[in-house]
Structures are given as C-alpha cells and as structure tokens.
Amino acid sequence: MTLLLVEQFLNGLQIGLLLFLLAAGLTLVFGIMDLVNLAHGSLYMMGAFFAAVLTEWTGSFLAGALLALPATALLGIVTEVIALRNLYTRDHLDHVLATFGLILFFNELARVLFGVGGMAIPLPDSLLTHFEILPGLPYPTYRFLIILVGLLCAGFLYVLVQRTRLGMLIRAGATNREMVGALGVDIKLLFTLVFGLGSALAALAGLMAAPITTVQIGMGDNILILALVVIVIGGIGSIRGAFIASLLIGLVDTMGRAFLPNMLGTVLSPADAGTVSEALSSMLIYILMSGVLILRPAGLFPAPGR
C-alpha cells in the first residue's frame, strides 16, 4: 500500500510540475502585463504539435523537443506583437474575449495543419525503461525525467526572478508597471521577452506531456483551466505561489483519480463507480478553488500592490 502511495505521490508530483510550467508562464504574463491570456493553452498545444512534427522529421525526440521550444516562443512573440499588444490597456473582459477568439483560431489552425486525428510522439527506447526508485517500486524513467526537468526549471525560474537583473525588472513590473517604464526600461521589449519565455515554458509542458497523453486538438483547453485555478489559488504574479499551488493541485487530482474508483467501487457497480469517480476527480480541483476563493477572495498569496 505504501508503495502505491509513493507511486501516486510521484505521479502527482509529475503532473503538478507540468502544471507549474504552464502556470508559471501564465502568472508571469498576468502579473506583469495584467493580461489574462486564455490562449496560453493553445501555445501548450502548439508546442506539442511542433515537437511531434519535428521529432518525425529529425528522428530524434531530443532534437524535436529542443527545436520546438524556440519555434513556439517565436509563435508566441508573433501573436503578442500582432494581436495582444493592443490589449494591455483594456479591461479583463476584453482579454478574455480576444484570447478566447485566439483559442478558436489556434484549434482550427492545428486542424488545418496537422489534421483531426492528433499525433503521437514515440519515445526513444532509452526513455521507455523503468528503474527502481525504492526497492520493489519500478517507476517509469520518462516520468522521472519530467520531474527532474520540472524541478530544474523551477530552480532556474527562481534564480532568474530573484537573482538576475531581468528578474528584478519582472518583479518590479509586477507591482508597478508605469514606474518601470518611467525608469527608462524598454517596457515593450520586456513584455515581449516575458511573453516569449512564457510561451517556451508552455511548449515545454506540452511536449513533455505529449508522449503520455498524445497530442490532440484542444488539449490545451482543459489544462488551461487548471492553470488558471493554480494562479488564482497561488496568487497572481507569484511564481512561488504557482509552484505550491501546482503541486497541491497535481497531488489532489492524482490521489483523487487513483483512490476514488476503489472507494466508490465498494458501494457502486464498477462501471458506475468509474463514471462517478471520473466526474468527482475532475470536480475536486474546482471545489478546492471555489473553497479558496470563497474564504480568500483575492487568492492565497495575493501579490503586493493589488
């Protein structure tokens, strides 16, 4: 039983870290540019598609992944310059509407470019192995890799935000955008850079998730909601908050999905238990977020100056 728990804990960690990669970009953009970007999930999807196509072309998952990152970052930057730049002065409803339009666009674009069926990313044999994390507990190497990469990125972001000049500008911009501009910083460039960084992170999350979940149209829509839940709980503009909230949500979601069917199977038929537990697991996150917002209408870690 403990082995099962550890395994599910690791799975929760893995999902949480993927979620963190997605949410970090979202919270950066929201925190600094005050932009609600629903199309962030589309960048997640496009990153996965790019990786799938590039992996096919180059024959190497690593090459595909490494090329997909700048490709998606570029896509993000182009989107920002063409469409999103004009939205910074508008209110949140305008953001929601405009980026909802972008979601529709990207979903259809993906359909045109990549077809309706979706794609799969085959993993190299080296990653298809298992290794023993604990005696008696073989854990997929690939999932472990995800955890590793996720933690590395979290560390990188921490260093970036807390210790570099760019990070200082980011933190300053999150609390007072106008001042940073008045200080002579090219605010447009800063925004574009941040957006590019966020896009790359989203792409990384998408392409790492892809071998497990397959690449599909609209794969970004549902996880986007989770990412929004993360930043609402974790506090807008807070990377640290996003980290904690992502892990929390990843764990809750995984544990729920792992143990609910069995718990419900004691009272319901297996088929019904399956249906109900599927629904309940999905609901858990929303119940969690609703609970947080009802008790703390500004999130768990509200960013200063808000």
* Site of interaction with another protein (CB under 8 A): 30, 36, 83, 86-87, 89-94, 96-98, 100-109, 111-112, 221, 225, 228-229, 232, 236, 271-272, 275-276, 278-280, 282-283, 286-287, 289-290, 293-294, 297-299
What's the number of CA atoms in the CB half-sphere (13 Å) around residue 58?
17
Which of 151, 221 has the CB closer to another protein?
Answer: 221
Which of 113, 159 has the CB closer to another protein?
Answer: 113
d(CA 291, CA 251): 17
Nearest distance from C-beta of residue 86 to another protein, angstroms: 6
Which of 25, 299 has the CB closer to another protein?
Answer: 299
d(CA 73, CA 204): 10
H or E segment to which residue 138 belongs: strand 137-140
Nearest distance from C-beta of residue 132 to another protein, angstroms: 37
Nearest distance from C-beta of residue 118 to another protein, angstroms: 16
Residue 56 sits at the vertex; the CA angle it makes with 50 and 60, to the nearest 5 degrees, is 95
Nearest distance from C-beta of residue 77 to another protein, angstroms: 17
From residue 274, give the alpha-carbon distance in Å to each of 3, 60, 147, 254.
23, 37, 28, 15
Nearest distance from C-beta of residue 142 to another protein, angstroms: 29
Which of 16, 256 has the CB closer to another protein?
Answer: 256
Which of 120, 293 has the CB closer to another protein?
Answer: 293
Which of 7, 34 has the CB closer to another protein?
Answer: 34
Nearest distance from C-beta of residue 189 to another protein, angstroms: 22
Q: Which own/partner contact pairs does 248-252 have at CB distance under 8 Å and 24+ positions apart?
A: 248/16, 248/288, 249/16, 249/19, 249/285, 249/288, 250/12, 250/13, 250/14, 250/15, 250/16, 250/17, 250/18, 250/19, 251/9, 251/12, 251/13, 251/16, 252/12, 252/284, 252/285, 252/288
Which of 186, 272 has the CB closer to another protein?
Answer: 272
Both tokens assigned to 160? 């970036």
Q: Which neighbouring-strand residues pair with 37?
A: none
Nearest distance from C-beta of residue 297 to another protein, angstroms: 4
Backbone angles phi, psi at 216, to 5 degrees: -135, 155
